[in-house]
């Protein structure tokens, strides 16, 4: 079975007397070690799909299996554990604590799961080394560039060695040069064996992935493999 598998996923919102279908019968598989971009315009359903994959929301109908576990059967504690240990989230807005150092920001997921202080610090330092920020461990977000802040956010997402790195518009707040640096970092993390799913509305960001799922009106419109030539054109 695939690492991520969805079968006939629907997400429906009731707005007054009207029903709005954010997702319509989405069935897909993502294997361990894949690098996939979910792409689509605003309102297409890509963020809704990301929230379901990240166990931040539940479907109205259909099934989702993560690492062969049926997500619908999990209780709140099991879901919280998956969000903490199995999935590393990277957000467009970085979501860093402004008064905390890079080290402390990266340690946060480990504090929630009860890792000892010495082990936390070692794991956080290792994660910061992975994103080339070993010399910025005691810097606060205000002392870092936008690209460095996003690297801290990526280190925090990686600190638990999650099954999946889930990135929502990871370059949305960055200039084009810094965006290229962050996407090169994602390329390197994928080469190291990480499973990466990015959600984006930008074609040049999506082309860094090895496979692009295009979402339109809540449905998967196309599912395409990105050729080496197309990907090399992004660098």
Q: How confident is the model at residue 112 (pLDDT cuts 50, 70, 90)?
A: confident
**CA-based R_g, the chain, Å:** 18
pLDDT for 120? 96
Distance CA 153, CA 100 (A): 13
Mean pLDDT of the chain: 93
Question: How distant, in Å, are the alpha carbons of 65, 68, 130, 135 from that of 1?
Answer: 9, 7, 30, 41
Q: How far apart are CA 151 and CA 102, in angstroms?
A: 10
pLDDT at res. 229:
81
> Is the pLDDT confidence value at 10 over 60?
yes
Integer Cα distance of 70 and 75 in angstroms: 11
- Model confidence at 233, pLDDT cuts 50, 70, 90, reads low
Average pLDDT over residues 68-84: 92
- Can you tell me whether residue 68 is helix, strand or coil? coil
> Longest Cα pair distance anywhere in the chain, in angstroms?
56
Cβ count near 131 (within 10 Å): 24
Per residue in 211-222, pLDDT tens? 999 999 999 999
Task: Convert the pLDDT of each residue in 170-209 to its tens digit.
Answer: 998 899 899 999 999 999 999 999 999 999 999 999 999 9
**Residue 184 in tokens:** 């090169």
Q: Which of 46, 1, 42, 6 is nearest to 212 (CA)?
A: 46
The pLDDT value recorded for residue 232 is 67
* pLDDT score, position 12: 97
Token duo for residue 87: 């999935």
pTM of the model: 0.92
Assess whether pLDDT exceeds 70 at residue 227: yes
């Amino acid at each position: 079975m695939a690492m991520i598998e969805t079968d006939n996923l629907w997400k429906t919102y009731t707005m007054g007397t009207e029903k709005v279908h954010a997702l319509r019968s989405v069935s897909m598989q993502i294997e361990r070690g894949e690098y996939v971009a979910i792409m689509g315009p605003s309102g297409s359903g890509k963020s809704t799909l990301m929230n379901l994959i990240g166990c931040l929301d539940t479907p109205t109908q259909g099934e989702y299996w993560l690492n062969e576990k049926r997500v619908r059967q999990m209780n709140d504690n099991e879901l919280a554990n998956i969000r903490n240990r199995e999935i590393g989230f990277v957000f467009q807005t970085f979501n860093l604590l402004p008064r905390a150092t890079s080290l402390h920001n990266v340690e946060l997921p480990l504090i929630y799961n009860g890792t000892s202080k010495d082990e936390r610090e070692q794991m956080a330092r290792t994660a910061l080394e992975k994103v080339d920020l070993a010399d910025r461990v005691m810097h606060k977000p205000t002392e870092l560039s936008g690209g460095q802040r996003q690297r801290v956010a990526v280190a925090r997402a990686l600190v638990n060695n999650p099954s999946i790195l889930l990135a929502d518009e990871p370059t949305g707040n960055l200039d084009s040069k810094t965006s290229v640096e962050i996407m090169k970092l994602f390329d390197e993390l994928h080469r190291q064996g990480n499973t990466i799913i990015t959600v984006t509305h930008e074609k040049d960001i999506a082309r860094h992935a090895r496979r692009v799922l295009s979402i339109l009106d809540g449905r998967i419109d196309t599912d395409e493999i990105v050729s080496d030539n197309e990907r090399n054109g992004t660098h």
